[in-house]
Each structure stands twice: as C-alpha cells, then as structure tokens.
Structure 1
Amino acid sequence: MSDSNRGVALGATAFLMWGFAALYWPFLSASEPAEVLAHRMVWALLAMCVFLLLARRGWSWLPQVLRNPRQLLPVGAAAVLISLNWWGFIYSVSTAQTLQASLAYFINPLMTVCLGVVLFSERLRAAQWVAVGLGVVAVGVMTVAYGSTPWLSLLMATSFAAYGAVKKYVSLDGMQSLTVETLVMFLPALGFVVYLEATGAGTALSVSPGHTALLVGGGFVTALPLLLFGVAARKVPLSVIGMLQFIAPTMIFLIGWLVQGEEMPLSRWIGFVFVWLAVCVFVFDQVRGSRARAAARREAVRP
C-alpha cells in the first residue's frame, strides 16, 4: 500500500472512530459529564505514555518544553480549548442532543476559515464566502428549530476551530503536543476525580467494574484517533483531509437520528439542508483549488 493510500485509510479510520464515539460516551450516563471529562483527561495521559513507549520516542524532549514558556503557553491554551470541546461532545451525546454535535462538526470547517480571516488575515475565495453564508443561515434556521440558539454546537465548533488555530503556534509534533496537552490538564483532572471519590459523589469505584473499565478506556478512545489523524495529515493533502472530516458528523447525525431517535421536524431538516449545501460548496472549492495547484505545479516543472 502506498503512503498516500495508507494516509487515506488512517484518516478515514480516525474519523470513523470519532463518529462511533457518539455511541461510547452514553454508556457512561451514570456519571456526570464533568466527571467523565476528568477521567478522559487522566486516562488520556496514560494512553499517550503507552503510545510513546510503543513508538520508542523517549522523554528527553519533555523537560525542555516544560521550562520554555513560549512552547508551553500555546500548548496549555490548546489543552483548555480541546477540554471545552470534549465536554461539549460528552454532554451533548449523553443528554440526547447528539444532533447538536453533528451540526457542530459540519460547521467547524466554516468556523476555521472565519478564524483564518480574523486571526491570520487570510482572504476567502467567493465560494468560501458562499459556504460561510449558508452556514450562518443554517445556524439561524436551527435557532428557530430548537427554540433557542444551539449553543452546544457553537461551543464545540468554535473551540475546535480555535484549537486548530492555536496549534499553529505549537512547535511540537502531534504525539509530543498531545502528550503535553494531557499533562497540563492531568493534575486538575486528577484532583477533581479524587475530590469526587472522597466526597462519595464519584462513580469510578461504585457502579461496576465495566463502568470503571469504560472510564479508563475513554483515554484510549480519545488519544488513538488523534494520533491516527496526525499521521494521516502528514501523508495526504489537506484537501483530502478536508473531505474525510465529514465522515464523523455524518455518522453522528445518523446515530442521533436513527439509533438514538432524536426528533427531526421539518425545521431541523431545512437547517441541515443548508448545512449540507454549505459543505458541498466547501468541498467543491477544496477540490477545485487542489486541482488548480496541481496544474500549476505541473506547469512549473515543464522544460
């Protein structure tokens, strides 16, 4: 298998795992979302330690990062943002609001390009402006459909888009960065878990061995797709990653609608139609831009 095909397979696997995660977290409904999030942070660090040992990467790089504020501060900010995103996802799929999670990850690419304009003075092409406009209409329609602004969707979409923007300032590779992110959140998360258990409010040791195993497994459910995604992003063009990323919200939508039985009145269907139109315009622009760049490269190497 070529590197490109392997990258596509790894990327697709990562997004499939993120999609199936909508079925994983509801099994932990005996715990409050905040407790699940804390365990997710604690055990994600264990997962990263295991992956580092398997990859034989060593730890010699870590002390230098911890002593360097310029490296540590953006990683710390990334850790806070991804924690907000994780909490929003856990809360939505655990409280029968899975369709809000689907909406979040459909509009996330549009949030990302908007942040590019605001933070990095990037210029959008006409098709990208159309996609953003359709996304805004979709959020407006969803506000009417839900009877209030879909804050969970906006929280997840903006936090993940901001996470991607902050990562531009991180000089570490994907495995190192994720390890430090989980390390930054480890002590606060562990402290919260200990507090819950000490006060009798925790569920890690009081529900069942299966529940405990699922809490521990949440760390690996968190870390593995992120690592697969990091490898895939280095092997295939971003335009391909841009198309693969819609696997997860499509799966989450189908899980929310068909498996968990969330209602889909006409107003929500209209909102999602606008979302899917925005996605189609976005993907079309990505493909067209990729082809134009490839043609320009071929033209440049001609004798």
Structure 2
Amino acid sequence: MKYYLSALTGFIIWGTFALVLKPLGAYAALDILLHRVLFASVFIVIACFLFRRKQAIKSIQYLKTLAGKDRNRLLINIFASAVLLAMNWFLFIYVMNAVSVNATSLAYLICPILTTVLASIFLKERLNRGQWFAVGLSVVSCLLMAYGHFIDLFYSFIIALSYAAYLVLQKNASKLDKFFTLTIHILVSTILLLPILGLIDHSVAKTNEFYSFILIIAIGYTIIPLFLNIYALKGLDSSVVGILLYVNPIIAFFLAIFYYKENINSFQIIGFSLIFIAIIIFNVAYLYERRKTRSIRSL
C-alpha cells in the first residue's frame, strides 16, 4: 500500500504543475528549466549529505566494490537517465507555455502505454488479459484525445517517450540508495544543461516572484515527486507505476477546463472517461493477479 500511495502522491503533485508554471509564461522555457535544475541540484545535494549522509556513503562504497562491467553498466544507466530527465523537463515546460496545457496532459496519457510496452519488452513484465484490455482502452482514449490535435500528439509522444524510458531504466537491481540515485540524476542533468546557459536572455529581469516559483518547482515539483516515483518502483512493477501516472493528466485536464477555461471537445471528454475506466480495470486486474499468485504459493 505504501508504494501505491507514494506513486499516487507524486502524480497528484504533478497534476497541479500548471498552477506554478503558468505564472512564469513570460519567461523562456530554457530559462525556467536551467533555474529549475540549478535550484534542485543545490537543495538535493544539501538534503542528501545532511539528512541521508549514511545512505550516501554506503552507496559510494557500493559503487567502489562493483566489478568493471557492472560499474560501467550502472554508470551508463545513470547517464542515460539524466539525459532523459533533462529532455523531459525542457519539452514539458516548452509545450506547457508555447502549445497548451492539454498537450502536456496528452503526453501523460500516452506515457503509461509506452511505459507498459517498454516494460513488457525490456523488463519482461507480464500482464494478464485484464491489464492488456485496460492498455487497449487507453490507446483508444488517446486516439480520441488526439483527434484534430496531431501537432499536440507529436509533442506529447516525445515527452511521454522520454519519461517512460526513464521509469523503465529505474527498475534495476542496483543497491544504490534511491535518493542518492536521484541526486546523481539531477546533478548530471544540470551539468549537461550548463553549456546552454549562455543562450538565456539575461535582458529579462528576474523578479522575487520568479525565484519564489522556481524554488517551489525545484523542491515541490521536482525532488519530492521524482523521489516518490523512484521509491514506488521498489515495490511495484514499472507498468503499474506507469498506469498510476494517469492521475496526473486527469487532474491537469480538470484544471484546463475549470481553471484555465481551455476549449474541450466531446472526444476529449469521452477519452478521459475511458482513461478513468482503464485505470480501475488495470489496477483491479493487477491486484487480482497478485492475490492469486500469493494463494498458489501458500498451498
């Protein structure tokens, strides 16, 4: 249950991301992204070595004990995760401010499907008929949502693929502390993005409001939900965490309708209704399969 709550909490937080991102619409996506990762890097390093010093030291010692091949494989995983994370952040901010809130919602409708497919291919995670039915229902809903919005679909697919691949990469047998791992991901992402710091338009004045929102985004919408996601993967399959991600776009969808007054067509309403049904079917099928497996093992 704690892993479910962890994943749900992270996605509920992300669902309200527009509330802190929209007020920064006057600033370039790259500007927001770089300040976000710089703030997040500083605070996560402080948290890692101040509150989780023992776990960090153990993780460093674990890295030293790994054989050459295993260490290289883990380092490649960390680097690839950081690249995907940086890519996802930039695209999400750009689409949110330059395209629409709906486009980012669509991205996280596609992401669970891609996560499930990638987990099935690369992690050999098996799904039962009920879960595959839910995935099929999700595909139908995404097609309905994308009707007449194919540019949104293109951006959404790239955003979704970057985070789906990131989630799948986190499901590894490494004994590294999850918070330490996240710290490395954010630090590497920051290092990768620093060379483009010169592209920022410094003529745009940064207000106290700007820095306040960036601080909230760095801690409340970056470090906390990412850690909750990685922690959830300790006890849940990647496909399950991926499906729970649907909570994010559902909240964003309601914000788009009732708060930002964006135009929503009947296809989108039907699509989100199918998504809601798919979430219930997938998780009921997953829990049924787990209970069935435990019953067989107890015999």
Provide Cα deviations, 1:262-302, integer angstroms capped at 9, x if missing partner: 111112223333433433332232232233234334x33xx
- Which residue is 1:42 aligned to? 38
Q: Which amino acid aligns with 1:251?
A: I
Provide Cα deviations, 1:2-56, integer angstroms capped at 9, x if missing partner: xx56x66554432332222221111221221122122222222112112213423
Kept after mapping to 1: 8 A contact 2:85/2:189: no
Q: Which amino acid aligns with 2:30?
A: A
- Which residue is 1:262 aligned to? 262
SS in 1 for 2:148: helix
Q: Distance in 2 between matches of 1:181 and 1:95?
A: 27
How far residue 146 of structure 1 moved from its aligned partner, in angstroms, is 1.5
Q: Which amino acid aligns with 1:23?
A: L
- Which residue is 1:125 aligned to? 128
- Which residue is 1:276 aligned to? 276
Provide Cα deviations, 1:142-192, integer angstroms capped at 9, x if missing partner: 332325461222222222111112223472231111111112122232332
Q: CA RMSD in A?
A: 3.1
TM-score (norm 1): 0.81
Q: Distance in 2 between matches of 1:147 and 1:12?
A: 29
Kept after mapping to 2: 8 A contact 1:16/1:248: yes
Q: Distance in 2 between matches of 1:8 and 1:168?
A: 16
Stretches of structure 2 that go unaligned for 5 or more consecutive residues are none
- Which residue is 2:90 aligned to? 87
2:15 matches 1:19: yes
2:187 matches 1:191: no
- Which residue is 2:214 aligned to? 215
2:295 matches 1:295: yes
Stretches of structure 1 that go unaligned for 5 or more consecutive residues are none
Q: Which amino acid aligns with 2:177?
A: D
Kept after mapping to 2: 8 A contact 1:145/1:268: no
SS in 2 for 1:153: helix
State the identity as a percent.
28
How far residue 96 of structure 1 moved from its aligned partner, in angstroms, is 5.6
SS in 2 for 1:42: helix
Q: Which amino acid aligns with 1:16?
A: I
